[in-house]
Structure 1
Amino acid sequence: MVEITNRVARLRRTLLIIILVTLPCYLLGTIVLFVARSASSQLTMTPTNSILVITATQVPTSTNPPPTGYPTPTATATATATPTFTVTFTVTPTHTHTPTDLPTYTFTATDLPTDTPTLPPTIAPTVAPTLEPTLPPTDTLAP
């Protein structure tokens, strides 16, 4: 019986610790929700997008040469470049069928093969080798 009460007391203590540890998480979540609601009720100004186009053009100026011994009353015009944009439309070529000449057969005359006379094979007589008698070896004495 004492063992069962110890188990129950230990289980109660564990559950109480789990509840006490998770309470701050619940409270923090509630605070975050209230802050988010109050922040969403305030209107925020949204910037508008506008396009500002600035074009700069250069004014033609005259350039005077450096002074020399003799005065020159002429002015030199300076060319200025002004960019212009033009749209050029191009036509995309289409595939067209071009007829091509096909190879044709050319007939050429050829000679027919003729019989070539050949000699029949002949049998040549062969000479059979003849055996010559030889003397048996003899003993020789050395001096």
Structure 2
Amino acid sequence: EEQEKVDAKRQELGSLTDKVNELSQSLIFSCNIKGEPISTDVVVLVKEQLKKNTAKRFVHQHLQLWEVVDLEKKNSQYNLKLNYLSFLHQRFTITVGPVSAIIATNKLIEANIKKSYPMINACVAFAYVFNAESSRNLRSSKNLALETQ
């Protein structure tokens, strides 16, 4: 019975060693490292990689001005609604089929704009800048990407 436990632990150790080697090779490949780093170098590289990924995620989250608030599909039509910092809702109606179409509609959330900018008539500026209360045919998915930036 003791020998079975020892054999099981050796097998587990071998499996873990294989996983460590796989992860090390993956890191070496993804970071374009020349040669074989020692284990302490691998640990340092992993920490640096995690810091970079955390920084990228932080920047991405804080630069994204919109969030998806609704997504629905009815037959061959998709409706996507984005909320821009609670000042503007942008709806995309995407029709898929022989005659595809992408329609973008902007709608101001005037109550929030007035609350945030009480001393000026900011709704007029928002309406002008975002071409609010109108619909546009974007014609292609490239224009959809540009519209949300």
Shared fold by TM > 0.5? no
Q: Which structure: greater strand fraction?
A: 2
- Kindly name which structure, 1 or 2, has the bigger radius of gyration based on alpha carbons: 1
Q: Which structure: greater helix fraction?
A: 2
Q: What TM-score does the superposition give when structure 2 sets the normalisation length?
A: 0.23
